[in-house]
Amino acid sequence: MFASLCTPACAGFVIAAPAKVNLYLELLGKRPDGYHDLETLIVCVNLFDTLEIQPARELSLGCNLPGMPTDAKNLVLKAAIALRAAAGIGAGATIYLTKRIPHEAGLGGGSSDAAAALFALNRMWKIGLNDTELKAVAGAVGSDVPSYLAGAASWCTGRGEIAEPAEVPPLHLVIVKPAVGLSTAEVYQSVRAGSVSDGASNPTLTLPALTKPLFNRLQAAAFALQPLVERVYDRFRECDPLGVLLSGSGSSVFAVARDAADAKRIARQYAALGDPTDRVYAVRTCR
């Protein structure tokens, strides 16, 4: 996927980092390391951040959003440091991140940015890590960072770091990000212990037929923590989409449309029902 989103620019690269939604997310139980084992189907959509990367003596990160961390707390810089350590080199880069994917939205912007940086820097620094090696570095940066290196759609297990390419038909979606955000850690901690799966089933999804319904084990916990997110869900259901679901740990909710025209209709209808502070995006899945 990133090969088609990465463009040479002088001696460096400009690369787009897509948002994602989770079409399915089940928790299988808590691990000794404190994470949850899970199963999730992730698809990337054409809502993008952009990274501009150029060679430099030192490693530095800038961002268009005031207040966004630009030290190793940011997954982009964390990824660059991890890749440099894995390769045993001291190369530098100036990275400028233009954020468009909302924060605390369950859309995976930070993880996608990190994966994009790994892909581009692996090329720019001529390290030559293969996909498996690059995924290993990505897994140490963040649980869902490897999913973006698996392709435009991926089936993820473990704590999310085991990512395999998945076949998903093209989909048109409408995403709404309300004014509130949700903490991933708080949502996971709020899931009722008895509500996780026993791991006995390994469901498959066939879209658009949807032999398994859209599902997110985190949805009830997210709604309980932030009722405004549940109101977004309820308004979406009034717009007659094929399905509605929380993405990841939220706070974004998405609706599945029948086609591009239906997505525009749903977006218009939701805008008439929703709060003016809601951000509404009509998107399609990446190829």
Instruction: Tell me which residues are annotated as active site.
Output: 20, 144
Amino acid letter, residue 286:
C
Looking at the chain, the number of H-run helices and the number of E-run strands are: 9, 12
SS3 279: strand
Which element (helix H / strand E) includes 273?
helix 260-273
Structure tokens at 77: 């810089």
Residue given tokens 């032999």 in the structure block: 211
Among the residues of 32-178, which ranges form H helices? 75-87, 109-124, 131-141, 145-150
Q: Residue count of the chain, please give it.
A: 287
β-pairing verdict for 92-98 and 59-63: parallel
Are 255 and 249 within 8 A, CB to CB? no
Contacts of 46 (CB under 8 A, 6+ apart): 18, 283, 284, 285, 286
| Strand pairing report for 162-165 and 153-157 | antiparallel
